[in-house]
Amino acid sequence: MVGLYQRTIIVARYGGKIHIGCGCGISGSTIYAMDNISIGNNVLIGGNCKIIDNDFHPLQDDKRHPQRHEDIKKKPILIGDGCFIGANSIILKGTTIGKNCVIGAGSVVHGAFPDNVIIAGNPAKIIKENK
């Protein structure tokens, strides 16, 4: 119903690790790890989301040609149990999302967020508690 643009893609490269807990649902999204992505139990990931723990390429021009994966910045991502990630959201490297959080559709998420909050926007911020 959301209008998926792709099949679900899950990739771990250059020593990256991905853990997906029990009872999760993923709709046409990308999960790409070069460090570590940990997704808790009962997490729902809406259509066309991106969860990416790296920059894909170095930012400095002289390090992009030729590109070495050692020059790519990466930081782990942790998504707590019971979260819902709305369609077309992007979870960036170094993000920690607490348990039972809701991410509004189209959000760009970076940083640390506590349990039981609703997060939305670009850049994403807490908009209210999720009681």
Summarised one tens digit per residue, pLDDT across range 22-77 is 999 999 999 999 999 999 999 999 999 999 999 988 777 888 777 778 888 999 99
Note if 57 is an active site residue: yes
The predicted structure's pLDDT at residue 3:
67
pLDDT at site 27: 92
Q: Which domains does the chain have, with CATH numbers?
A: 15-116 (2.160.10.10)
If you search the block for the tokens 């997490």, which residue do you land on? Answer: 43
Residue 67: predicted pLDDT: 75
Tally: H helices and E strands in the chain: 1, 16
pTM: 0.92
Decide if pLDDT at 78 tops 90: yes
| First CA to last CA distance, the chain | 28
- Stronger pLDDT, 107 or 69, i.e. the higher one: 107
